[in-house]
Amino acid sequence: MRAVTFRDVGDFQIEDVPKPSLQAASDVLLKVTLGAICGSDLHIYHGHTPINPGAVIGHEFTGVIEEVGPEVRRFRAGDRVVASFFTACGHCYLCRRGWFAQCVDKGTFGHGEYFGNLGGGQAEWVVVPLADHTLEVIPEGMSDEQAIFVGDILSTAYFGAERAEIRPGDTVAVIGAGPVGLLAVMAAQLFGPARVYAVDMIDARLELAQELGAIPVNAAEVHPVEFLEKATHGHGVDRSIECVGLISAVDTAFECVRGGGTISMVGVPSKTEWQFPIMQAWMKDLTFRAGWCNVQAYMRPLLDLVAAGRLQPERIISHRMRLEEAPEAYRMFDAREATKIVLTP
Ligand code: NAD
Ligand code: ZN
């Protein structure tokens, strides 16, 4: 089958690799119908995520089930499904407490040997282990483009907004207007804020953020913390959602909130350590949260919100390309010439 593989830093190729087959009784074989390129794939592309050469890339995908293992209960061949970007067993101590992202059996799709050795979704087929707790059926009438993001970036954006504790009337700053930040702008609005600001440096992304209801803040033109302070009569915003992962963005997220505010970080940290401003946090009564999204807990309600027309995540798609065009798609996404690219096998 055709698949996007990691060859070297900055070198993803489209290659022929063996078609995967069921290995365990809880597996499902999926014929991929749509894949998407994520900011997390760029961490691999830049060599920041360790991965073995030849690994198939891709953790955002939808598909049609071709084969089910004998222990799979919730799905049948022919079902249209969307996958979480990681697997969960559903039975362990932390899954039973609703923390699927902390599952003892967690593996991440498209991240090679060091993250559970799962296949990737930027391919024609993918095997989904622990399918009963990793997949959701796509509601009838919903397109793959509408559904795909609940498996990763829409859930992440919602998770970030929920953990920011937004209350009606709040001011919210979303730091980073990449795909995650843009969806955070959308998700934040479900909680009734008075104003949502979106901070980035890329005009096209800031324009889209504005179309989605945010007030754009171009960090290449103004100092974002000073701008937000002025905009909130010197107080700072009530909540910030960090959607970048670079330390400079975490600093902005921290510095732009008022006393008693909340900082919610979902960007993957670019460094393993960061000097936590404990005195500032203490003096200002701040709440800081960070984390890997607990996707499985959000897929079903988010699919319902999309079905009801209250979220339109497909609005962030800027380019629709063929799987065969993946190397060019990565170049474009890395160069910020595209906001979100989906690939059709
Ligand atoms: P992206 O790289 O496309 O977007 C990042 C955006 O941040 C870009 O538009 C960039 O211009 C902007 N930016 C860079 N530095 C900035 C700064 N100092 N201030 C403001 N904006 C700045 O990535 P994405 O797909 O939107 O993903 C965002 C992050 O979320 C990535 O780190 C990704 O790995 C992470 N992520 C986390 C989870 C999770 O479970 N927590 C899930 C999915 C993605
Ligand atoms: Zn992702």
Domain ranges (residues) in the chain? 2-152+295-344, 154-290
Give the whole-number percent of the chain exceeding pLDDT 90.
Answer: 99
CA 51 and chain centroid, separation: 19
For 98-144, how does the pLDDT look when each residue is reduced to its tens digit (9 = 90+)?
999 999 999 999 999 999 999 999 999 999 999 999 999 999 999 99
Protein residue with its CA nearest to atom 36 in ligand 1: 267
Average pLDDT over the chain, rounded to an integer? 97
Rounded-to-integer distance, Cα 69 and Cα 24, Å = 7
Residue 140 pLDDT: 96
Residue 151 pLDDT: 98
Provide the residue type at 73 as one letter.
R
For 161-172, how does the pLDDT look when each residue is reduced to its tens digit (9 = 90+)?
999 999 999 999
Domains 2-152+295-344 and 154-290 agree in fold? no
Please report, for residues 3, 193, 267, 302, 304, the alpha-carbon distance to residue 309 in angstroms, rounded to integers and kept in the order given: 33, 19, 27, 11, 9
At 158, list the tokens.
Answer: 């919602």
Rounded-to-integer distance, Cα 132 and Cα 27, Å = 9
Residue 166 pLDDT: 98
User: What is the 8-class DSSP label of residue 191?
Assistant: G
Q: Is 252 helix (H, G, I), strand (E, B) or coil?
A: helix
For 275-296, how does the pLDDT look when each residue is reduced to its tens digit (9 = 90+)?
999 999 999 999 999 999 999 9
What separation in Å is there between the alpha carbon of 22 and the centre of ligand 1?
34
Q: Is 115 helix (H, G, I), strand (E, B) or coil?
A: helix
At 104, list the tokens.
Answer: 């003892």
Is 243 touching ligand 1 by the criterion CB < 6 Å?
A: yes
Q: Identify the CATH number of the domain defined by range 2-152+295-344.
A: 3.90.180.10
Tell me the average pLDDT across 248-252: 97
pTM across the whole model: 0.97
Q: Is 178 helix (H, G, I), strand (E, B) or coil?
A: coil
Contact between 216 and 231 under an 8 Å Cβ cutoff? The reply is no
Residue 334 pLDDT: 97
What separation in Å is there between the alpha carbon of 37 and the centre of ligand 2?
7
Domain covering 154-290, topology: Rossmann fold (3.40.50)
Q: Which of 86, 201, 244 for a ligand 1 pocket mutation test, highest count of atoms within 8 Å of Cβ?
A: 244
What separation in Å is there between the alpha carbon of 200 and the centre of ligand 1?
10
What separation in Å is there between the alpha carbon of 188 and the centre of ligand 2?
19
Tell me the average pLDDT across 339-343: 98
Atom of ligand 1 nearest to the CA of 179: 26
State the pLDDT confidence band at 229, using cuts at 50, 70 and 90. very high
State the pLDDT confidence band at 41, using cuts at 50, 70 and 90. very high
Is 181 touching ligand 1 by the criterion CB < 6 Å?
A: yes
Rounded-to-integer distance, Cα 70 and Cα 27, Å = 9
For 132-158, how does the pLDDT look when each residue is reduced to its tens digit (9 = 90+)?
999 999 999 999 999 999 999 999 999
Is 264 touching ligand 1 by the criterion CB < 6 Å?
A: no
Tell me the average pLDDT across 181-190: 98
Q: Which of 60, 243, 296 for a ligand 1 pocket mutation test, highest count of atoms within 8 Å of Cβ?
A: 243
260: left (phi over 0), alpha (psi -120 to 50) or beta: left
Hey, CA dihedral for 161, 61, 86, 109, is it positive or negative? Answer: negative
Contact between 126 and 117 under an 8 Å Cβ cutoff? The reply is no
Atom of ligand 1 nearest to the CA of 333: 3
For 311-330, how does the pLDDT look when each residue is reduced to its tens digit (9 = 90+)?
999 999 999 999 999 999 99
